[in-house]
Structure 1
Amino acid sequence: MSAALPQNPSRRSVLKGLGMAVLAAGPLSACAFGSDDKPANNGPTGTVSANNPLGVAANAPLEVVIFKGGLGDAYATEVHEPMYKKAYPEATIKHMPTQQISQTMQPRFASGDVPDVIANSGSDVMDNGALASEGQLLDLTPLFDAPAIGGSGKVRDGLLPGTVEAGILSGKPYLMKYIYTVYGLWYDQALFEKNSWTPATTFEEFDALLGKIKAAGLKPYAYAGKNASYYQYWMIAITAAKIAGNQVLIDMDNLKEGVWTSEPVLKAATAWAEIGKKYLDPSFEGLTHTEVQTAQNQGQIGFYPSGSWLENEQKEQTPATFKYGLTPTPSVTSSDKLPFGAVRAAAGEAYIIPAKAKNPQGGLEYMRMMLSKEGARGFSEKTGNITVVKGAADGLPLSPGTKASNDALNKAGDNIITYNLFEDWYKEFETELRAKTNALMFGRITPDQFCKDVQAKADAVRNDSAVTKQNRTS
């Protein structure tokens, strides 16, 4: 996403012929990765020992593909890859940065010539659900059950709650989610202090505050409709969860009949549609996330919905006077099930190992290093983002945005709204949701029609026997 973390609408391709010509196509279909080929895990292996519990072949080459978006790739080239090279000096490491993950990787998946580790993110993200259903992803259970580096117990024991579960597809952990992300409304603390503006706790207060921001000559609220409309449906889903509790997101993930037309979702859509009607600039539907984010850094925008990767992604465009702040989405009514301070926070940013990787044991070891306190701390130092490794960032100086995220988490306490997994599970549905979100927020459809249209797409996916169904219980 990056937007670095979340996942933008993917463009898939149909690959034909020896030339691997890539033709523009719609959402990824099940056949795009060659399901007739049986995945192989027959990579080189070494002697299993206390220092090498995964049996890595010391001289086996390792290829790492990194999405170079908001997180950059210095965390890989200056932290994780040197850790691997230190442990296995005979191994050569091929590093490949790209912003076109799907376009670059699809031909390689189709041919079987895949790398060993992939940071699958960005606007050209691959469909993890489809990859898993095709047998193209390696089960990461051995990683999470391996001994933790530099600590006691297993790798999984040192991770924040819900981390392993966030990467489960069809009952197995195929994804390693790495960043603990906090979502909400971002603003410039310095600008707000200068104007004596205080973030609102209710939609009524939010409306009044946006009016003041508009009167000051700013765009009060903005998101990028061209490639980041998912930022806005997050806000609608979070608001629905505040109204009715986290069960509404579980129902969304499970494609439950009637969830999108339920009263909490309709109330949330109505509240946000009113904000769009009064305060969204229509031209923003044609802008990218970086364009809108940079406009905020230039003092032109009040609030922007996003995740806690935002500060790092914008560091090159952010003036020294700009100080990122985060506030939760406003409450709709006094009877909301969750308090104003409730925030959505979860393990995100998926890393995968192809089932046909040439060095799958090396890939697992590389991830084990990422999930060590040393690897996680180095990542935080390079990116400003907190990982899923417990305590890895303790004692590090925190930037304003990271501190704001931590403060929001501390205030939320147990009131954490958990991740929408349909983003990984049902990309065709998620792509349609993006389009309907723009239509709602820019006034082309009513909240009632939005709910009906999105529910119809959810029903179509639920009733499609060709789509592998997932299940979430908590």
Structure 2
Amino acid sequence: MNVRSSRRTLLQLSTMAGASAVLSGCVTAGGDGPAEQATGAVTDDNPLGVPEDADLEVVVFEGGFGSEYTQHAVTLYEERHPGAAVTHEGLQKVGEVLQPRFVSGEPPDVVDNTGAGRLDIAALAAAGQLTDLADLLDAPSLDDPAVKVRDLLLPGVVEDGTLDGTAAFLNYSYVAWGIWYSRSLFDARGWTVPATWDDMLALCEEIKGAGIAPWTWQGKYPEYMMDPLQSLAAKAGGLDLVYAVDNLAPGAWKQDGVLAAADAIHKLVTGGHLLEGSEGLSHTEAQNAWCTGQAAFIPCGSWLEGEQQDVTPEGFDMAMAAVPALTAADALPAGALQGSSSESFLVPAQARNPRGGLEYLRCLFSGEVARGFAESAKAMPVVKGATDGLDLSPGLASVAAALDAAGDDVFGYKYRTWYPELAVEVDTATGELLAGRADPEAWADRIQAAADAVAADDSIPKYER
């Protein structure tokens, strides 16, 4: 669909300070709209009506998963539509580069909107900037024409990408978050992954005694350490705590479980359990320090093995474990795991070739590409059965085992997707907490003030779960 707006609406575009470049407010594209969108005949071989000779532009986030799988989908697309010229580009800061193109009404046909500099999907959806993916979801899959694309996806994937009843984006990887360690190191030292946070702190003292830093973290990107903190909070307070945070409930960030989780993470600081200098490390620098044995634990999502595969020493045998229970009285079981789908793919509403964009995603979400993703990225795809029969790498096998152990006790927060301006403040406050410049109470006060400001701002679309 074509969306037009006044110059005044365009001026509402802004770049958020900090980690994310976003589109904020109710914003739409400018000028007189894009060039006429291409369409083609709908046939059994071309169920989405892709124009056979229209160019396709794909822009992806250049991150830990690599680009082999997105290039694989390009190959399938070109095989099916040989008259099309396909361009494929990888970016680090997706929002910073693409924001002006959304403003001018000239976005790419497909965007992998991921990374610290991602666009604000909720704002894009509210502005009508995203193509409804319903036609894709109801299209026959590449694997089996009798099976719709939506029926290939793991439970919750379509829901994760749905905003106000519209399928706005589709996530590609199923991500679990936990704490990572080297099995070979732990076996050699006789260490056991702790079951509770008190056990963690006791083990940290033992690790320090061995001349190794207990933890490191990706200090330039505090979101990484926020993951174990909010996992501890969810375990302590259960899903009611999670929903209160996401729903901007008054006092949500001052709940007992949230404060106790912040205090638990803060004890890594006060106990001297962090690798010196971690605050100034990028994600790769911290992960490299961990891989070379300078620290025993690092927090990360399940993409870590793939991101580190070129530098991980032989025999390191990395593994992910669930974040320990905060206490024995937690509302969720000790094995509960933070997880959700991630790596968001979208088709801009003002793209020149949105039908081609949908077809590209049909190729991307095929079993063939998903299996290749599992092998090359060492990560879990959202396509059912994609890892069946594969010889999983140690890290990916540990992720699969953790998800299996968690069963139905997998939880996730949505405030980052819904309210990126709040997420920036959460990360800034968490950086201060881990640097020792804020205590848990000051941390909670700062975030609660930001959450209250978002709740009171009528220009920000609100969501509820």
The 5 A counterparts of 1:57-456 are: 57-77=51-71, 79-151=72-144, 152-226=146-220, 228-278=221-271, 279-281=273-275, 283-417=277-411, 419-456=412-449
Instruction: Tell me the equivalent position of 2:4.
Output: none
Instruction: Tell me the equivalent position of 2:6.
Output: none
Q: CA deviation at 1:443?
A: 2.1
SS in 2 for 1:75: helix
In 2, Cα distance between equivalents of 1:390 and 1:247: 29
Q: CA deviation at 1:297?
A: 0.8
In 2, Cα distance between equivalents of 1:45 and 1:236: 48
SS in 2 for 1:304: strand
SS in 1 for 2:114: coil
8 Å CA contact 2:26, 2:127 repeated in 1 = no
Q: CA deviation at 1:34?
A: 4.6
Instruction: Tell me the equivalent position of 1:459.
Output: 452
* Residue type at the aligned position of 2:350: K
Q: CA deviation at 1:31?
A: 6.3
RMSD over equivalenced CA pairs, Å: 2.2
Instruction: Tell me the equivalent position of 1:469.
Output: 462
8 Å CA contact 2:16, 2:421 repeated in 1 = no
In 1, Cα distance between equivalents of 2:95 and 2:15: 13
Q: CA deviation at 1:282?
A: 5.4
Gaps of 5+ in 1: 1-13, 17-21
8 Å CA contact 1:39, 1:135 repeated in 2 = no
Q: CA deviation at 1:148?
A: 2.1
Structure 1 residues 38 and 454: alpha-carbon distance in aligned structure 2, compared to 1, 3 A threshold:
farther
In 2, Cα distance between equivalents of 1:262 and 1:280: 26
* Residue type at the aligned position of 1:263: D
Gaps of 5+ in 2: 1-8
- Per-residue CA deviations over 1:120-156 (Å, capped at 9, x if unaligned) read 1123211212222222211112111222222233211
- Per-residue CA deviations over 1:100-136 (Å, capped at 9, x if unaligned) read 2122212221222211111111232112122222222
In 1, Cα distance between equivalents of 2:379 and 2:313: 19
In 1, Cα distance between equivalents of 2:403 and 2:291: 24
8 Å CA contact 2:215, 2:295 repeated in 1 = yes
* Residue type at the aligned position of 1:431: V
Structure 1 residues 448 and 239: alpha-carbon distance in aligned structure 2, compared to 1, 3 A threshold:
same
* Residue type at the aligned position of 1:150: D
* Deviation larger for 118-127 or 29-38: 29-38
Question: What TM-score comes out, normalization by structure 2 length?
Answer: 0.92
SS in 2 for 1:350: strand
* Residue type at the aligned position of 1:364: L
In 1, Cα distance between equivalents of 2:269 and 2:163: 35
- Per-residue CA deviations over 1:356-413 (Å, capped at 9, x if unaligned) read 1111001001111111212211222221111111101111111110000011011111
Q: CA deviation at 1:451?
A: 1.6
- Per-residue CA deviations over 1:171-215 (Å, capped at 9, x if unaligned) read 312111110111100011111111111100011111111111111
SS in 1 for 2:325: coil
In 1, Cα distance between equivalents of 2:192 and 2:17: 46
Question: What TM-score comes out, normalization by structure 1 length?
Answer: 0.91
- Per-residue CA deviations over 1:415-451 (Å, capped at 9, x if unaligned) read 112x221111111110000011122222222212222
Q: CA deviation at 1:33?
A: 5.8
In 2, Cα distance between equivalents of 1:159 and 1:23: 33
In 1, Cα distance between equivalents of 2:344 and 2:437: 34
In 1, Cα distance between equivalents of 2:458 and 2:403: 40
